[in-house]
Structure 1
């Protein structure tokens, strides 16, 4: 019988794995277990919790000794902006790998992370490397090894050009706030990320993007631990009329917010 070859250890001492968590402790345990199975080690693992329910906090206590993460707790839910800020503030390494707890890394993720880190170390102008998306970014310049540089101009048609920054899994410099500011803590839902997206563009952020963006990670939610972001009908409907109105609304709003610097 052919014996399985163990996955060689991949060590990233200059990278902190930052995970934001809220009421999905089983998903968090799955993410950490998968990285362990892949033989991936980081300088530190930081779990920034946003006031999860007692049963999830208990689960974090149970798995913390096994995975050795630093747990940043808060007494009550203070919103995504606060959770991201306190998590990033705790990072001590030069680079931050940000992943939400409902993602599962595939084996292909590890070499892609290593290549992204190498490129960021060699090119100080790179602010971020993105590993996942819901759709392909429309303006890309191939740079090799599966990565492309994301291109933005206000003159490019369409509104999807604005999605250069995303809260989907990415590697960034831990000095990110110095260039782009902090996440807004006075906004709810996914608005802190939207404002960061505008700031990233206004401050001429530079990012690379893995073109096979569905190969590296899988996002998995269940009925037991569903997504914690609730979107309304108008944002999700596939109705032709609703989708058309939504398209024009986003085009106008994003161009206005960018030009107004909001």
Structure 2
């Protein structure tokens, strides 16, 4: 069954993983998902990857937005979103694959966004559940945030993982920070999303709609400091305390409802 998602642009950020991008596009195609527009924002990939993108461009009918040199995640997101002309944007990085459950749930999300003008995003994937949720409907929950909430996971009120958003996102929450590492870019948008009173839903079964795939041939290009992955209990405790102080300091000027 084909699903035509009018008013939606599929925005994909890409860097040196053209085979992964093709797999993503074929997965949407096999599920019968058709979008009004598809934008692939490439961050100065190697020539062989750019050549492959141009090879498959006509087959999948996407607009390719390029840059002569790598400028980082922030620039890639900004120029990609700038190219979107539809009311809604489905943002997906190239290493994610939609499951067979996605089309129906995405239709639900789109209907909800049309009905609820206060909503800015609907999130479909996460490494773990957002800590403060209020059941909404159709398997979605409203994300909540208050200054006294103790779980530092509250900072991820926004996430770069697959989500539906209104295409005026940059006008409302500001542009992504450029010239810094990708994890810092995401963090700054998290803070801005809170400060500008963003509203969003979170899909409860957050591993059911997308699968993240990183092959040996095309591994993830995101690198993080070793401290964030260390399992030593003392370091974990110190990191927790640091995050509580840092996150609350960064968002203390946010205005909460």
- How big is the shift at 1:187? 2.2
CA distance in 2, matches of 1:189, 1:163: 15
- How big is the shift at 1:82? 0.5
- Give the structure 2 partner of residue 20 of structure 1: 13
CA distance in 2, matches of 1:260, 1:55: 46
Could you list the per-position Cα deviations for residues 112-136 of structure 1 after superposition, in whole angstroms to 9, with x for gaps in the alignment? 1110110000111000000000111
Q: Which structure 2 segments of 5+ residues have no match?
A: none
- What SS is found at the alignment partner of 2:182? coil
- Give the structure 2 partner of residue 46 of structure 1: 39
CA distance in 2, matches of 1:248, 1:223: 35
Could you list the per-position Cα deviations for residues 117-156 of structure 1 after superposition, in whole angstroms to 9, with x for gaps in the alignment? 1000011100000000011111111011100000000111
- Large movers: runs of 4+ above 3 Å: none
Aligned ranges for residues 227-238 of structure 1 at < 5 Å? 227-238=220-231
- Give the structure 1 partner of residue 209 of structure 2: 216
- Give the structure 2 partner of residue 102 of structure 1: 95
- What SS is found at the alignment partner of 1:190? helix
Identify which of 133, 142, 152 aligns with 1:149.
142
- What SS is found at the alignment partner of 1:64? helix
- What SS is found at the alignment partner of 2:157? coil
- Give the structure 2 partner of residue 120 of structure 1: 113
TM-score, with normalisation over the residues of structure 2?
A: 0.97
CA distance in 1, matches of 2:148, 2:82: 35
Paired residues of 2:183 and 2:224 also in contact (CA < 8 A): no
Residue 29 (structure 1) aligned with residue 22 (structure 2): yes
Q: Across the two proteins, how many residue pairs are aligned to each other?
A: 254
Residue 169 (structure 1) aligned with residue 169 (structure 2): no
CA distance in 1, matches of 2:155, 2:7: 30
Could you list the per-position Cα deviations for residues 36-90 of structure 1 after superposition, in whole angstroms to 9, with x for gaps in the alignment? 0001000100000000011111110111111010000110001111100000000
- How big is the shift at 1:195? 0.6
After superposition, the CA RMSD in angstroms is 0.9
- Give the structure 2 partner of residue 80 of structure 1: 73
- Give the structure 1 partner of residue 49 of structure 2: 56
- What SS is found at the alignment partner of 1:168? coil
Paired residues of 2:71 and 2:179 also in contact (CA < 8 A): no
CA distance in 1, matches of 2:152, 2:81: 29
CA distance in 1, matches of 2:97, 2:244: 32
CA distance in 2, matches of 1:222, 1:157: 36
Paired residues of 2:195 and 2:253 also in contact (CA < 8 A): no
TM-score, with normalisation over the residues of structure 1?
A: 0.95
Paired residues of 2:6 and 2:35 also in contact (CA < 8 A): yes
- What SS is found at the alignment partner of 2:7? strand
Residue 68 (structure 1) aligned with residue 61 (structure 2): yes
- How big is the shift at 1:260? 5.0
